[in-house]
Structure 1
């Protein structure tokens, strides 16, 4: 996406679509649909490194994603940013969770899932990405 286009997208316009229109359309299925939509986005914009995933979050104006901790079968990320960007109190973060799960699954070749946990006081979201070392995916 060109820098010119990203500079012209207002935070208010993004908020209207993300926090109001989508939640109205998706209703009680919002979390599940957004998770799978995030996985589909990751397939359309594949990353080969964690650094590329972190940069995608910044480029998409999703916030600042940092890798906090990683072990052999899990990783923890924190998403932070300005309060007017993240809208922690009423935004569902399953889109980002699905995106992280699919990106890791594509990079590792292992079945991967991701859970999100909002921290309203800290204005951040923690993502717990977990993969199964014994469950490779078919490519």
Structure 2
């Protein structure tokens, strides 16, 4: 088996579930449920620091995560996933939002922008510093 085939087979099961089965089961509610599921995963796999997120993303096969900007009420990550076509990234956004909220103690929501031609996803976390959790 060649190196390319090995990589494909390692991700095949994950992609089968993530890209085909889940979207079929969730239907039109896919984005909302995946965001909630990402938050739920974050509660089950808590990080002690947002700096741990890139390692978690790599281990979970979510892709390569990089912190681009950190401000008082906004944090921006760049994600380079193994696959970008026809994929929703609400799971990753929800995961980061919940981790940031738990670590910082303030209400945090996330939204993502997909840049297919650049093969990257920008995930922006917005924190409401008036809303303690």
Q: After TM superposition, is the score higher than 0.5?
A: yes
Give the 3-state SS of the residue equivalent to 2:55 in structure 1: helix
* CA–CA separation in structure 1 for the residues paired with 2:131 and 2:114: 29
5+ residue gaps in structure 2? Answer: 1-6
Determine whether 1:103 maps to 2:110: no
Which moved further from structure 2: 13-22 or 72-81? 72-81
C-alpha distance in 1, partners of 2:34/2:10? 21
The answer to whether residue 121 in structure 2 is matched with residue 121 in structure 1 is no
- Quick one: distance in 2 between partners of 1:53 and 1:106? 13
- RMSD, aligned α-carbons: 1.3
How many residue pairs get matched?
Answer: 126
Q: Give the corresponding residue for 1:3.
A: none
Normalised TM-score (structure 1): 0.88
After TM superposition, the score normalised by the length of structure 2 is: 0.91
Q: How does 1:84-95 map to 2 (within 5 A)?
A: 85-86=82-83, 88-95=84-91
* DSSP 3-state at the match of 2:117: coil
Distance apart, 1:75 and its partner CA: 0.5
Give the deviation of 1:51 after TM superposition.
Answer: 1.9
Give the drift of 1:40: 0.2
* Structure 1 residue 99: Cα displacement: 0.1
**Over 6 Å off, 4+ runs:** none
Structure 1 stretches of 5 or more lacking a match? 1-6
